[in-house]
A and B are shown apart, each in its own frame.
Chain A
Amino acid sequence: MAKQNLVVIGNGMVGHKFLDRMIAKGATQNWNLITFCEEPRVAYDRVNLSGFFNGKTEADLTLVEPEFYQNNGVQMYMGDRAIKIDRDRKCVTSANGITISYDKLVLATGSYPFVPPIEGKDAEGTFVYRTICDLEAIAAYAKTCRVGVVIGGGLLGLECANALKNLGLETHVVEFMPRLMPVQVDDAGGLILKREIEAIGVSVHTQKSTTKIVSENGRVHRMTFADDTELQTDMIVFSAGIRPRDDLARDCDLMIGDRGGIVINPACQTSDPDIYAIGECALHQNQIYGLVNPGYVMAGVAADNICGVDSRFDGADMSTKLKLLGVDVASFGDAFAKTSGARELTISDAIQGTYKKLVVDETATTLLGGILVGDASAYGSLLQLMHNKTALPPHPEDLLLPPRSGGENALLRVENFPDAAQICSCNNVSKSDICNAIRDNGLTDLASVKQCTKAGTGCGGCVPLVTDLFKAKLKQAGIEVKNHLCEHFAYSRQELYHLVRSSVSSQGESQQIHTFDQLLQRHGQGKGCEICKPAAASILASVWNEYILNPPHAGLQDTNDAFLANIQRDGTYSVVPRVPGGEITPDQLIVLGEVAKEFNLYSKITGGQRIDLFGARVDQLPHIWARLIEAGFESGHAYGKALRTVKSCVGSTWCRFGVQDSTSLAIALELRYRGLRAPHKIKSAVSGCTRECAEAQSKDFGIIATEKGWNLYICGNGGMKPQHAQLLAADLDKETLIRYIDRFLMFYIRTANRLERTATWFNKLEGGMEYLQQVIIEDSLGICAELEAEMAHQVATYDCEWKATINDPRKLQRFRHFVNSDQSDPNVIRVEERGQLRPAYEHERQLLTIGQP
């Protein structure tokens, strides 16, 4: 049988979806697919149009993969508008004069923006907001404007306001109704929405009826309202609703609704059975659906019917979730409680700027609908409860509030949804579709799940649910979520560590991985970057403990490691010698004072009981360290992701409460672990009694003396997110204590992510402290002997990095600002404050450099 012609008029989101459905069904075997596209580009994501002004390009917005139509044999007439349908001869004629006969015709002509009949509506400086061409015109004109007004405070109007704001205009929204988004949100919700939107600098004028647009010098200048007020503006964008584009259908006498729209039956057929209409041009039971999801459903229904599969469109869920001007808005089901007996439950929080309403049935056991403003994170889950008619908990408000007892609300967890639950309503993807795709195709990353199932590729509202489901499935299957270090290594840090570590025992030096180049050559690609190089340097140091400035390693180090000092904001460095346990002799103190004085360094006591000397130029560093080493100091590794300090109180040596010699233990531990490189810095402390003056419980590992021995606490930290360390083991003798710390640190170094402190690492560890106790104390993994041997190697191979550096003239060459001059950086300017020097601030710098050449 010869192929029949199927012509689609319109290549918007719905027109494209229809073609996509047809191709997916294999319909190209029986049909020649032909489409007219009025715009100069194929279908793009109109829903996220304002992203165009926020860095998104045409390529980001397009819905059609390059060559998709060509590869699937779709004849596309781009930039050519269909202007006439001849139903008798069954053909379509285009503006370019092409006439194509059809066996079946699909109208996906969409809608056009409604411009209210206001005097002056066609003045220069008025626009509509629908296509990329509109956007380009708006953007071009906005360059000459300061103020912009959007007429219409609905969903599209607020999207458009976002666009104007992104263009840098002072933005106003004018709405005829008493509230914003009148179709989706009630009065109380509208009020919160208005307040939130005004808070980000968009002025909202509700209940304003525009009477006139006044121009001056041929350009829009101001608008006047029915209440005799007025607003000055340089441009106006109309976004006051849409009207179906039904002119082609009208001209060929298809049945049209009283207020426009091409009438369709549940099969999406028009009054001519060979012509279908889908999307915003179609009128179904007297309703136009101005959202993309119902249009997608219609596209599927029409495709089914044309392919001979019975399928019906029975109206669509108008539930929607959006982020408008940064404010979450969601509206679903019976949002206005129109069902008889329906009851409402609202929580309005003017402080947080959130409004949440649930509509439940008479018995408060089923969810009928709701509105969320300000925080719509519960939307996906609530929609599921509604669609699946899940019985509500005794206190339905629990669904809107943070959990009462700490635990999450199990009802809202995606794992507990029924298999048939629809996760993605845009593309009608169910929970079991996603689970099956993950299982059958062995998917291990979210992008593949989206690509394979199309879930989350419509409005994106379900992406959090898809992500949760994906992670839950992977966890169930025991698969680790992909965690690549960077573009150069398709491995996580743990995997790279393992690759290097396992090369230690391989036969022959040539198989071992000693350098970044070897690692990159065998397991990576490209040249490396500032992410993988320091991470690899740290791994190599943790495994081999070679001098970090050896030529193969020097280029891998962050500047702090590269110059064995801490860079400061003016490009000079600070110097922190090790002061084990914070114990320092008067002679050492004097040397530090002398050095600081000689090199004019700013001095400050650190939180780790040491002294920090600031403002050293690179060329001064070796001279400073020569003095310090002579006086018995060594590198403090304040610059490295390494053990920093073991802080201590004076303990039983002096303190009348001390029960053990905390200082001696702290010194022993600091000397044992000095120079140990790790995924992140490691801090420690030892307290001599339960008063805990050394603050050991805020450290990566902290020790507190007891009458019987030592308590070991692990995985605490101060900083941005303080967290208390937890007790690993109590009343240990010193040997056992050190054995446990060895194992703990080496296990952390093996398994943590890059730049992950022990506390963060711990929080992600399945099984928590109980698991760590099994690994470290009971040796449940059988690796403790390895971990101890690895630590013994580290301890045995320690060398002071500064001593190694100043003894090597070739290394010292790098410690100069200019490779070809002994000058120092003239850009370093200092100001005196409280008797010391500090870097000048920018405003001081300008004053200080006035008059200089």
Chain B
Amino acid sequence: MQAITNQSTATRWITVCALNDILPDTGVCALVNNQQVAIFRVGEELYAIANYDPFSNANVLSRGIVGDRNGIPKVASPVYKQNFNLATGECLDNAEISVPTFSVRVMDQQVQVGATQI
């Protein structure tokens, strides 16, 4: 598993779970500094975006189905099925909407989320 290391130097990493706690090609929701962060394991990569779905106004994105659209990794909201780019948080079905993203990495088989929002 390749660690993603695009964090700024000021990032404080918070361990949220073991990598094995996330089934391949699914997501979980972690509570990080009172924010709900949806963390997805897609193939060899990890992604983290906000758990809040702006279309249904519910905290559900971690429960969406992951996959890709033309190679772009994405998750489909489980409520109304809008797709979000996992890398950038952009909604692929409505260019005006996006959700926040977070940095995430694996250290010693533990999943860590960057405490400062990108």
Contact = CB atoms under 8 A, between A and B. Distances in A.
Contacts of B63: 559, 562-563, 567
Contacts of A852: none
Q: Looking at chain B, what size class is its interface with the partner chain?
A: 35 or more
In terms of DSSP, what is the predominant structure of the interface of chain A? loop
A526 B29 contact: no
B30 A819 contact: yes
A530 B65 contact: yes
B68 A529 contact: yes
A827 B58 contact: yes
Given A533-B65, A555-B24, A823-B31, A527 B42 contact: yes
A396 to B, nearest CB: 47
A529 B79 contact: no
B76 interface: yes
A555 B62 CA distance: 11
B73 interface: yes
B58 A528 contact: no
Nearest to A560: B78
Contact of A819 (B17, B24, B67, B79): B17
Interface in A500-551: 526-530, 532-534, 551
A567 B78 contact: yes
Nearest to A557: B65
A397 to B, nearest CB: 45
A554 interface: yes
B59 interface: yes
A534 B29 contact: no
A813 B76 contact: no
B118 interface: no
A526 B24 contact: no
Interface string A557-574: 111001100010111000
B81 interface: yes
B79 A555 contact: no
A770 B54 CA distance: 50
Contact of B68 (A526, A551, A820, A842): A526
Nearest to A559: B78
A555 B65 contact: yes
Interface in A563-597: 563, 567, 569-571
Chain A interface size, as a band, is: 20 to 34
Interface string B37-69: 001001100000000100011111001111111
Contacts of A820: 16-17, 30-31
A400 to B, nearest CB: 40
B31 A821 contact: yes
B16 A819 contact: yes
B21 to A, nearest CB: 6
B93 to A, nearest CB: 12
Nearest to B43: A527
B45 to A, nearest CB: 10
Interface in A323-351: none
A818 interface: yes
A324 B21 CA distance: 56
Contacts of A842: 57
Contacts of B83: 530
B70 interface: yes
A817 interface: yes
A827 B68 contact: no
Given A528-B67, A562-B63, A554 B23 contact: yes
Contacts of A823: 31
Contacts of B104: none
A718 to B, nearest CB: 23
A530 B42 CA distance: 14
Contact of A529 (B17, B26, B76): B76
A487 to B, nearest CB: 7
Contacts of A813: 21
A825 interface: yes
B25 A530 contact: no
B31 A530 contact: no
B28 interface: yes
A784 B71 CA distance: 42
B25 A817 contact: no
A487 B59 contact: no
B65 A569 contact: no
B59 A819 contact: no
A151 interface: no
Interface string B6-26: 000000000011000111111
A556 interface: yes
B26 A555 contact: yes
Given A527-B42, A530-B64, A533-B65, A825 B59 contact: yes
Nearest to A618: B63
A480 B90 CA distance: 37
B69 A529 contact: yes
B34 to A, nearest CB: 9
A570 B58 contact: yes
A817 B29 contact: yes
A743 to B, nearest CB: 33
B67 to A, nearest CB: 4
A825 B26 CA distance: 19
Given A530-B81, A813-B21, A556 B28 contact: no
14 contacts: A487-B70, A529-B76, A530-B64, A555-B23, A556-B65, A559-B64, A563-B63, A569-B79, A571-B58, A814-B23, A818-B36, A820-B31, A823-B31, A842-B57
Given A558-B65, A819-B21, 6 more contacts: A529-B69, A555-B26, A814-B23, A817-B29, A819-B30, A827-B58
- Give 6 closest A-B pairs by Cβ, nearest first: A559-B78, A571-B58, A530-B76, A529-B67, A555-B25, A819-B28
